[in-house]
Amino acid sequence: MPTPHIDASHPDQIAKTVLMPGDPLRAKYIAENFLENVEQFNETRGMLGFTGTYKDKQVSVMGSGMGIPSAGIYYSELFDFYDVDCIIRIGSIGAMQEDINLKDIVVATAAHTDSNIFNGYFGNTRFAPTPDFDLIFDAKQKSDELGLTTHFGTVKSSDEFYGNEEEIYFDRLRHFGVLGAEMETAALYLLAQKFKKRSLGIYTVSDNIVTQEADPAKERETGYTQMMELALEIAPQ
């Protein structure tokens, strides 16, 4: 310690729960607008990380970068070297169902993936990466309390943003009820299960892949405050 990708010299500099958007500037926005007593613990590779307090609870927030290869590095180092107990991903997601609107919240009860990260892990078994049940439960309760429109179901963690998935497979995923596409959660759930830690993916719908509606980049950086509040409220100490 520090690790190749994180500056913090001691685990105490990072809270037991880390909220992780892909975008480091979304992390900075949360630190500046929701946290008190903020200290920055990382700027290596511009992957900004901060620790502060939210309603007297210590919490960290840090970018993960986009895609499983980038995010997997940070998830592994935080779980394995910095004693982090829980990572809550707070992402943007492209809805795959027509009736899911921009700004709705999605919580991933499992994450399918086309990534190669599972190759060799479990032989012929198709592993189902899943989050912590209590965190799903807490997200449901808090979301109802806050009056949010939240969809609970599965997501696809894709290796490609500009994917060329054949229509038949995209439609089949939709038919099987997949709520949306993003790019990191399958790795988060896999690594949390590997290191015996807790994880959850919460997203704001930034675009609808079926209807082609989409939010601009600035909105994806700073606009998703309901998701930020929901994650901060349920973050375990």
Ligand X SMILES: O=c1cc[nH]c(=O)[nH]1
- Binding stretches for ligand R1P (CB under 6 A): 21-23, 66, 91-92, 161, 182-184, 220
Upstream peptide bond of 216 is cis (omega within 30 degrees of 0): no
| Of residues 53 and 76, the one with the C-beta less far from ligand R1P | 76
Find which of ligand X, ligand R1P, none residue 85 binds, CB within 5 to 8 Å per kind. none
- The site partner of 28 among ligand X, ligand R1P, none (C-beta below 5 to 8 Å per kind) is none
d(CA 38, CA 13): 11
Residue number with the smallest Cβ distance to ligand X:
94
Q: Which is nearer to ligand X, 68 or 181 (CB)?
A: 181
**Matching residue, tokens 């511009």:** 46
Instruction: Single out the residue of 207, 223, 228, 230 in contact with ligand X (rule: CB under 6 A).
Output: 207
Q: Name which of 16 and 89 has its Cβ closer to ligand X.
A: 89
Candidate residues 13, 70, 206, 226; the one interacting with ligand X per rule CB under 6 A: 206
Is 207 assigned to a binding site?
yes
d(CA 181, CA 100): 12
Is there a binding annotation on residue 92?
Answer: yes
- State the residue for tokens 């990466």: 129
Please tell me the distance from the alpha carbon of residue 52 to that of residue 15, in angstroms, as a whole number.
8
Q: How far is the CB of 117 from ligand X (least distance, A)?
A: 16
Known binding residue 22? Answer is: yes
Rule CB under 6 A: is residue 90 a binding residue for ligand X?
A: no
- Find out whether 5 is annotated in a ligand binding site: yes
Residue for token digits 């609970």? 152
Residues 103-162 binding ligand X (CB under 6 A) are 161
Amino acid 28 reads: K
Phi then psi for residue 226, to 5 deg, are -65, -45
d(CA 62, CA 18): 7
- By CB under 6 A, tell whether 92 contacts ligand X: yes
Active site residues: 207
Q: Taking the complex as a whole, how short is the minimal distance between the CB of residue 160 and ligand X, in angstroms?
A: 9
DSSP 64-128: --SSHHHHHHHHHHHHHTS---EEEEEEEEEE-STTPPTT-EEEEEEEEE--GGGTTTSTT----
Q: Which spans in 102-216 are helix H? A: 133-146, 167-175, 185-194
Is residue 185 involved in binding ligand X (CB under 6 A)?
no
Which residues form the interface with ligand X (CB under 6 A)?
92-94, 161, 181-183, 206-207, 209
Binding positions for phosphate are: 22, 26, 45, 89-92
Binding positions for a purine D-ribonucleoside are: 5, 182-184, 206-207
